[in-house]
Structure 1
Amino acid sequence: MTDCGCSPPSLETDAQKRALWIALGVNAVMCFIETTTGVLFSSTGLIADGLDMLSDAAVYALALIAIGRSPRFKANAAMVSGVALLVLGFGLFVEVVRRSFDGGAPEGAGMIAVATVALIANIIVLRLLSRQRNDEVHLRAAWIFTRADVVANAAVILSGLAVLATGSRYFDLIVGAAIGLYVMREAFEIISNARRAQRAG
């Protein structure tokens, strides 16, 4: 027996893979929908949420690769996820600054409709991953990402309502910046968990 950290397939491993594959598929589809409609509706919030979905899809892919690997590999996978999320959060701030100088008011009704679909999808994924989140660091990272998505979706919906009520684009910009801040906070949590796992390993 080697120390690769490998183990025979189990029902638990199958459940992890099934949950992650579903999460990966949902996030890939919603990334395309949100970024596309975000551009069409001139919504920074939707674009930010769509890019967050892309980052999540990458995290789920890393978590799938990490299943059955050594604890060290899983900790490293979580670290990569956290760093990627941190870069994404910074990128969202850059986009908010750019749009604050160039752009009009977004389409509030469209924002609400798309964000509501995304919220429902992420709640489903969060429930699937909630059964796995305490297992290992790379799976907890995936759960944290999805939790951030649910918060971001709700924020975009509120932003859409504010835009409809006032016609101002600043609510959308504020939500985009807030999503960036929240994403970075989640990134630091993932990185902290990964560091503890690396030291333990």
Structure 2
Amino acid sequence: MDCPSEIKMIEGLFEGDDGVKQMNFNLGDRQITFFHKTDESHILGKLKDVGLEGKQLETREVSENEVVVEDSQIEAKTLKILLGINFTMFLVEIVIGIFAESAGLLADGLDMLADSFVYGMSLYATGKSLSMKNKAATFSGGTQIFLALFILFEAVRRFFVGSEPVSILMMSISLMALFANVSCLGLIHKHREGGIHMQASWIFSANDVLANTGVIIAGAFVYFTGSNIPDLVIGIVISIIVLRGGFSILKLAKAKA
């Protein structure tokens, strides 16, 4: 190998090849480490077909846990930022949600907490084997479902006990959360087709943008109507979004297993 463009060509060459699980590139030494379940001649033959002849330096058996992703450090840095943003917004929305008596803000805050758990588990999974990533995604999906049921219970409870949500706080804090989640989407965008844990992170951030927008709209309805019903409705809607996200992650983990 003598240039980064060859990396892209080799990645494309083995894309969809079930026999090759992962490739680590070393431009300085012009070497590639293949993690594969196919015969070595298959790999060397495909390289030769595109004019990239080489020789095999060594081969050895490795366990599944030794197979790690090349860009794990980049993923870990991204996930740390996502974790920080979501946990900060969780604290803000929970505190203001209690003060503003807003089921929508409380629901959105708990959604942020669920995502914080997800990113924490994804950090644990980064650099781990596929099986570990699947376990992290399964835990993340289960966490989403559990917290969604709690959100649903709280929203329904307020239909009976009553509430007086402060619409201005609903809209302003949700606008802040929307900006935070759009930033998260920007950070995770280039990783959205990566490992199962990064795909899960993309789904969560996309769901959060929808939830934030819903709370802003609900806040506007509360402001103009003086009714608490829009706030309670968005609380239920968010719980459904979180539930769907949780089940999507479980389905994705099962498909990748």
TM-score range, shorter chain: over 0.9
Query: What is residue 85 of structure 2 aligned with on the other side?
Result: 26
With the length of structure 1 as denominator, give the TM-score of the two structures. Answer: 0.94
Aligned length: 197
Deviation at 1:17, TM superposition (A): 1.1
Q: Distance in 1 between matches of 2:207 and 2:147?
A: 13
SS in structure 1 opposite 2:65?
Answer: coil
SS in structure 1 opposite 2:75?
Answer: helix
- 1 or 2 for the larger relative contact order (CA 8 Å, sep ≥6)? 1
Q: 2:236 aligned with 1:165, yes or no?
A: no
Q: Distance in 2 between matches of 1:51 and 1:96?
A: 12
Q: Which amino acid aligns with 2:75?
A: Q
Deviation at 1:23, TM superposition (A): 0.3
Q: Distance in 1 between matches of 2:161 and 2:153?
A: 13
Q: 2:183 aligned with 1:124, yes or no?
A: yes
Deviation at 1:28, TM superposition (A): 0.7
Deviation at 1:104, TM superposition (A): 2.4
Deviation at 1:196, TM superposition (A): 1.0
RMSD between aligned residues: 1.3
Query: What is residue 83 of structure 1 aligned with on the other side?
Result: 142
Deviation at 1:188, TM superposition (A): 1.1
Contact 1:6/1:68 (CA < 8 Å) preserved in 2? no
Query: What is residue 95 of structure 1 aligned with on the other side?
Result: 154
Q: Which has the larger radius of gyration?
A: 2
SS in structure 1 opposite 2:223?
Answer: helix
Q: Distance in 1 between matches of 2:152 and 2:163?
A: 18
Q: 96-105 or 26-35, which moves further after superposition?
A: 96-105
Deviation at 1:7, TM superposition (A): 5.1
Deviation string 1:53-74 (CA, Å, 9 cap, x unpaired) is 0110110011110011110110
Q: 2:101 aligned with 1:42, yes or no?
A: yes
Q: Which amino acid aligns with 1:162?
A: F
With the length of structure 2 as denominator, give the TM-score of the two structures. Answer: 0.74
The correspondence for 1:115, drawn from 151, 174, 196, is 174
Q: 2:128 aligned with 1:69, yes or no?
A: yes
SS in structure 2 opposite 1:27?
Answer: helix
Q: Which amino acid aligns with 1:132?
A: H
Deviation at 1:8, TM superposition (A): 6.8
Q: Distance in 2 between matches of 1:157 and 1:121?
A: 14
Deviation string 1:61-118 (CA, Å, 9 cap, x unpaired) is 1111001111011011101111110111111110011111113220000000000000
Q: Distance in 1 between matches of 2:233 and 2:68?
A: 49
Q: Distance in 2 between matches of 1:21 and 1:178?
A: 28
For structure 2, which runs of at least 5 residues remain unmatched after alignment? 1-60
Superposed structure 1 runs of 4+ greater than 2 Å apart: 4-10
Aligned sequence identity (%): 36
Q: Which amino acid aligns with 2:187?
A: L
Deviation string 1:31-51 (CA, Å, 9 cap, x unpaired) is 000011000000000000000
Indicate the structure with greater strand content.
Answer: 2
SS in structure 2 opposite 1:131?
Answer: helix
For structure 1, which runs of at least 5 residues remain unmatched after alignment? none
Query: What is residue 55 of structure 2 aligned with on the other side?
Result: none
Q: 2:196 aligned with 1:137, yes or no?
A: yes
Contact 1:42/1:103 (CA < 8 Å) preserved in 2? no
Q: 101-110 or 52-61, which moves further after superposition?
A: 101-110
Deviation at 1:170, TM superposition (A): 0.3
